[in-house]
Structure 1
Amino acid sequence: MLIYLKRNLIFIMCMILAFTTACKKSKNDPIEKKGIQLTTDARFGAVLTDKDGKTLYFFATDVAGTANCTGPCETIWPLYYSADASTDMNLNAAEVGEITRADGRKQSTYKGYPLYYYQNDAAAGEIKGDGVGGIWFVAKPDYSLMLANTQLVGLNTKQYTSAYAEGTGNTRYFTDANGRTVYAFSPDKNGKNTFTKADLSNNSIWPVYEAELKSLPSIITKDLIGVIDVFGKKQMTYKGWPLYYFNQDAKRGDNKGVSVGAFPGFWPVLNATTTVAPAP
């Protein structure tokens, strides 16, 4: 009986040792990286990369979610696509998607932006493409503002230039992280919202832009951003201009608000060259 108990005890101890060893081995084994990854850069903070650490980029002209880098552009900015779901647990999987381009190829997206490489990034960790042409930016998960570069088309369906005259041509302007246009209100003053009513009855038409300040495109700096209290809402400002959405912008890339008001530009879009709001 004693021999039997000893044998059982030895068997149980061996099983525990084997299980512990297996667990340790499993815990220490590196997880194979697949899909989009998050990497921390000393200058840019959290950035998106491929599984090998190569940096990914957003193109401002793609604000509507359509890939506009084609032909010769692709030589410099090759598209990124992975059919694999990301293995990075710090990445919001709901923000990852894909599109089918006009030529039938697939391209991965993040927050609706098609993703690209930059040909001059020779090695993992290099970020040489940010700011190129003022319209290419390193892909990040936490932009508070993003830049668009596209045609202005008012609620009246007319096309406008950056001077708010009728005409064609891309205009650069800020959006939120998901490509939704943000506007200023021409009568506003520096840090003073003159549009929103105390009962918020008109906030459904031009909602104040509420966002936590995180990352910004490298063409602007955080000292240009502020927050004001508007009847209990925290409204972001840029160069003193309170920021708003327009409720008729039904999809990303829409900028219909530019034709609303006394004249085109009564609700202007904003960009890096916008002048500081006037003093109250």
Structure 2
Amino acid sequence: MRAPRVFAMLGGLVAAASLSACALSAPKAEPVFQAPTEPTASAGAGAAAGGEAPAGIGGPQVLRIAQVDGFSPLLVNGKGRTIYRFDNDSNDPPTTTCVEACLKTWQPVLAPNGVEVDAGLEEDLVGTVTRPDGDEQLTLNGWPMYYFHEDLKLGQTAGHGTGNAWFAISPSGGRAEKSADGPAPANKPQVLRVAEVDGLTPAVVVNAKGRTIYRFQKDDNNPPRTACAGDCLKTWQPVLAPNGVQVDDGIDEDLVGAITRPDGSKQLTLKGWPLYYFHKDLSLGQIAGHGVKDQWFAITAGGGRAQRD
């Protein structure tokens, strides 16, 4: 798996544009991969104005993908703080409209000392836009990125949906989606059970709500290893169990295990195969992911591939 790379956002990457009291526009920046730069005076001013300082004095800002209960994959910083986008902004060209009073609750994500992009996140999507105060605000696919002042640690997403305009940002720059059928609710175990599904044989593994569970041919089961990262996570959601797992009759609990993903979350395995949901399956009987690219298959109770009737 690709090791993290550190790159710096150098002054002048984003051309200046006309400023108004409410917005700043600038052409889309191309990220430059170099050694991190030294802190600047404007970076310090930005932090004082409400933008969270990068991880550590002189250290790079960290961007990584996380799986938070009830959400599709989203972006967090090195400490696990949720990162957001604002629908009133623009990504073409990158434009921030969050100024003045807005900055009391939404803090621009800055990177005066460069950026460390963890595996799974496309480096080419990361850029900057110059704010009215001169700070370089990080962008993802052109969208300026922010923190919410009430989020302080991993799992807090209090800003999501605010004003129907603020949303946790996905690894591709879109809105992260709430998913009641995803990871287990707080304090409840993840459930694995067996169900008969029309069109497949034998019976397949589903969650408590009947959502079909899949395996990926490019993964390994001995030792267990996941090959699904980056763009793969836009459509395939790891089956997690932050509060344990409940195995119903029909599944040998000795076959159930877990691996640690790059973001630190625990993904369930069955006979060593990492388990996933498909984003288009929402209820019992849906098997839209079976056979995708001849690599994804509904998984049977013994860890094998289900077959079409």
Q: TM-score, normalised to structure 1's length?
A: 0.39
Structure with larger Rg: 1
Higher share of residues assigned helix: 1
TM-score normalised by L of structure 2: 0.36
Kindly indicate which of the two structures has a greater share of residues assigned to strand: 2
